[in-house]
Structure 1
């Protein structure tokens, strides 16, 4: 038996089985990840409530989501360095504390400005939880079991976008909007106690000096770029001062950061990781996948509510087969990745997702729900074989000292690409709807039934047909991007990982 740095029994890197210790660590990490990811999606259904409650516009209310996302993007680059410097346990507990405090404050918000400010505080904690969780899990499991433990961590990543609207709709309908934040308190306190008890004591290595210049370039650069991109749907065009200036300044800062990072021995975001072939192709795969998947993720809930007149709760339930499919295939995919490498698994997953998503390019105003749910199930099967196996491909061949930086890099890629995808699909859909004169009137009639009586005969029916056509045409863009993901995925490793350095350098193997 081997010992981890705190003298407690640790996993044997040569073993293929997950032991009780790894499952306990996974439980702590998954609790944090569930809160962080659910809170991104649970607020989506609350935006109309915030509009009414705080007497504000949809565009301003939406900043309760955007502010959280920007805080995530700003803090993620710091996580890798901070994990090396202070240790993962201390940082994880601090991130949970920030998140719980932010949740409590959000529930006390008295106007939209205070809510946005508290969401930023919540996002600072939430932004650290996912990359830290991935680092903790990778260190706990060892190289031979990364695929399976990443599959465990992938459940909240994939189910968040599906269960968030269901939970949010139920809490708002049954209680009040305050409870979408208060629900985090008991979960957060349990996660905090378990983190104290279960996670190994920190033995941080003497850390290299902090890349202060890198922080001044990367964090504001990423935040400004995402601010510009996030403003596109509200402005309705890329050629807007509010979009262009922040985005261009952000891109400039990011380019300067890249030039700086390539000349620095210990940069804030370690771009030298791209020397690893598996990491490079995993990043390219994740960029295209996240643009397509997260971008398309906003389309179906909107279609179900705007075209079919469903409630937010009903829309969330109708999308559930996607999550069920992912839950079925994800554990299987995790086990196979550890045995045969991620390449074949990811290719299979993307192919299934493309087939499932292609169905939605044929959406009509009266498409049968059972057929739609079968297509979602197929997409779910593909999702379970794609996201976390791609993450595994990125970090499987990294050394112990590189893991924190690698997970940070992948989370930045995931967050940024998802925001870009959401903006692209929003703009495409908005422009297509604007070109269809009856679509707006038909959608408006869902919230104001008296409007239907004031319109010429056939306008509502024609409008819903036009709106469905706009949604199906937007799905074409998502399907094309998803199909392009097959190109970098083709170059992912197709053999069981062999990295003696990683095996020798895991916390479990450091003491005999």
Structure 2
């Protein structure tokens, strides 16, 4: 009997957990991309510079970097349900305060509050649903769970553009409130009850090394969008410090093993380590191109943010179409061939933009975006599911953190690299033809990243052995929490 037959039905309790966390997660994912299109408006309305208002995004990003590493430890103390409700409540409070901000410093501070809640929710969401799934039908489950992550960068700018066109900027944050309130109600009703609050040792040394490492890396990469790119002092030094601290954390964690803040010994598990590498690349291909695509429509073709956002909708539609059957296929045939095909389709869908100019037919470009989104869905879902294949229940939280960090840093790296490439080419352009060539060059780099993904995807493990699924399910349902 095949694995697909054995695991053909998903426990209704698992679906309840999925829908309970999905609603709250929508607020976190969409909030990040909605605000990205509003920085100019916020700078104008709050009477500050773009360089200052940029910290509305950067502060949120750095807060994520601080809180993501402690999620596993906090879950072991409080339980998944309590921690989810606390984190979503913090995000809700941050959203309300952000909507009431009176100047740039207050808005930046309240966005950091949002980032603290969101940084816990992102990896915790994967942990909750993977543990509820009991090691079965991971692809189908992840095809639903990944929906906010893959659609957020596409639909967020559209929502942001509509709000900025018709409403006050404060509604960028008020739009989160209904999602948060409904999410809290669903979590209280649907998530499994936690056990008693318990004590768990905190790896203070690991936190002092890991959290600043992530903050420094994300801060350095975010500064590359400024003049000078990677040659800037506020890029070089944060990256150097981040790498040094990260190496120190790896040495410390490998020494402490399961007692570390994040158990890096899990990277011996090839499904997790290989999927994390490819998730890093998928973050580059998704978020890197999502920087260049809106700029192409706005700077080169003179469209408004809302018009550019609407033109990007086909990419979200393509992702929506492919994610469901990609999840089912990954449960049947494994992730390797799906990832190979997905990265290849992403490259194919990006190719027309490498030849696009000032007057390229918009219908043709929207068709290309549909294809590109189709490939992104095929890539993302199997990789996110693969990260948890064969893990015991106690190992899932750390695996969630590792895969989330890979995606987050990959996105920041892709955005930084393509921003530097595009800015450098635009600065040297002396005509509209030079500007066209600058965007075409940036898209060729995006295609190159996707091509690297095709090659690395051959290293992914094949289909899981038939006998592995029942064992994984037993382990996931019966293993004790990590001490």
What interval of TM-score do these two structures reach, taking the shorter chain for normalisation? over 0.9
Deviation, structure 1 residue 476: 1.0
Q: Distance in 2 between matches of 1:334 and 1:432?
A: 39
Q: Distance in 1 between matches of 2:365 and 2:279?
A: 26
Deviation, structure 1 residue 296: 1.0
Q: Distance in 2 between matches of 1:187 and 1:378?
A: 30
Q: Which runs of 5+ in 2 are unaligned?
A: none
Q: Distance in 2 between matches of 1:135 and 1:419?
A: 23
In the alignment, is residue 283 of structure 1 matched against residue 276 of structure 2?
yes
Q: Distance in 1 between matches of 2:52 and 2:451?
A: 35
- 2:146 aligned partner: 154
- 2:456 aligned partner: 488
User: What is the correspondence of 1:165-204 to structure 2 with a 5 Å cutoff?
Assistant: 165-203=157-195
- 1:85 aligned partner: 77
Q: TM-score, normalised by structure 1?
A: 0.89
Deviation, structure 1 residue 59: 2.1
Q: Distance in 1 between matches of 2:67 and 2:154?
A: 25
In the alignment, is residue 430 of structure 1 matched against residue 400 of structure 2?
no
2:134–2:474 contact (8 Å) kept in structure 1: no
* CA offsets 1:458-492 (integer angstroms, 9 cap, x no match): xxxxx2x3222211111111111111012221122
1:399–1:501 contact (8 Å) kept in structure 2: no
Q: Distance in 2 between matches of 1:225 and 1:328?
A: 34
* CA offsets 1:476-511 (integer angstroms, 9 cap, x no match): 11111111012221122221452444211233899x
Q: Which region of structure 1 is more displaced relative to structure 2, 499-508 or 353-362?
A: 499-508
2:277–2:406 contact (8 Å) kept in structure 1: no
Q: Which runs of 5+ in 1 are unaligned?
A: 1-12, 439-462
- 2:400 aligned partner: 407
Match of 2:351 among 341, 358, 367: 358
* CA offsets 1:181-240 (integer angstroms, 9 cap, x no match): 011112111100111111001127966521110000000111012111111112423222
1:348–1:382 contact (8 Å) kept in structure 2: yes
- 1:301 aligned partner: 294
- 1:451 aligned partner: none
In the alignment, is residue 135 of structure 1 matched against residue 103 of structure 2?
no
* CA offsets 1:84-115 (integer angstroms, 9 cap, x no match): 22211011001101100000110111111111
Q: Distance in 2 between matches of 1:70 and 1:299?
A: 23
Q: Distance in 1 between matches of 2:206 and 2:223?
A: 25
Deviation, structure 1 residue 324: 0.6
1:84–1:404 contact (8 Å) kept in structure 2: no
* CA offsets 1:296-318 (integer angstroms, 9 cap, x no match): 11111111111111111111111
Provide the secondary structure at the position in 2 that maps to 1:506.
helix
In the alignment, is residue 507 of structure 1 matched against residue 477 of structure 2?
yes
How many pairs were matched up?
Answer: 473
User: What is the correspondence of 1:309-458 to structure 2 with a 5 Å cutoff?
Assistant: 309-438=302-431
Q: Which region of structure 1 is more displaced relative to structure 2, 137-146 or 204-213?
A: 204-213
2:65–2:214 contact (8 Å) kept in structure 1: yes
Q: Distance in 2 between matches of 1:38 and 1:385?
A: 21
**1:208/1:275 Cα in 2 relative to 1: closer, same or farther (>3 Å)?**
farther
1:236–1:430 contact (8 Å) kept in structure 2: no
Q: Distance in 2 between matches of 1:508 and 1:382?
A: 36
- 2:440 aligned partner: 472
Provide the secondary structure at the position in 2 that maps to 1:491.
coil
Q: Distance in 1 between matches of 2:313 and 2:454?
A: 26
**1:206/1:16 Cα in 2 relative to 1: closer, same or farther (>3 Å)?**
farther
Deviation, structure 1 residue 397: 1.8
Q: Which region of structure 1 is more displaced relative to structure 2, 78-87 or 324-333?
A: 78-87
Please list every run of at least 4 consecutive aligned residues from structure 1 whose deviation after the TM superposition is greater than 4 angstroms. Answer: 204-208
1:70–1:223 contact (8 Å) kept in structure 2: yes
1:162–1:320 contact (8 Å) kept in structure 2: yes
Provide the secondary structure at the position in 1 that maps to 2:231.
coil
Deviation, structure 1 residue 375: 0.8
* CA offsets 1:349-403 (integer angstroms, 9 cap, x no match): 1111111112211121111111101111111111111112111111112111101
Q: Distance in 1 between matches of 2:449 and 2:404?
A: 20
Q: Distance in 2 between matches of 1:156 and 1:288?
A: 19
Q: Distance in 1 between matches of 2:174 and 2:197?
A: 37
Q: Distance in 1 between matches of 2:378 and 2:390?
A: 19
* CA offsets 1:222-269 (integer angstroms, 9 cap, x no match): 101211111111242322222122221121111110110110131112
**1:245/1:509 Cα in 2 relative to 1: closer, same or farther (>3 Å)?**
closer
Q: Distance in 2 between matches of 1:23 and 1:214?
A: 35
Deviation, structure 1 residue 19: 4.3
- 1:116 aligned partner: 108
- 1:221 aligned partner: 213
* CA offsets 1:416-450 (integer angstroms, 9 cap, x no match): 11111111111111100000124xxxxxxxxxxxx
1:393–1:492 contact (8 Å) kept in structure 2: no
Provide the secondary structure at the position in 1 that maps to 2:102.
coil
Q: Distance in 2 between matches of 1:129 and 1:320?
A: 26
Q: Distance in 1 between matches of 2:103 and 2:370?
A: 40
- 1:271 aligned partner: 264
1:84–1:204 contact (8 Å) kept in structure 2: no
* CA offsets 1:64-99 (integer angstroms, 9 cap, x no match): 111111111111111122122221101100110110
Q: Distance in 1 between matches of 2:198 and 2:11?
A: 30
1:282–1:488 contact (8 Å) kept in structure 2: no
1:293–1:478 contact (8 Å) kept in structure 2: no
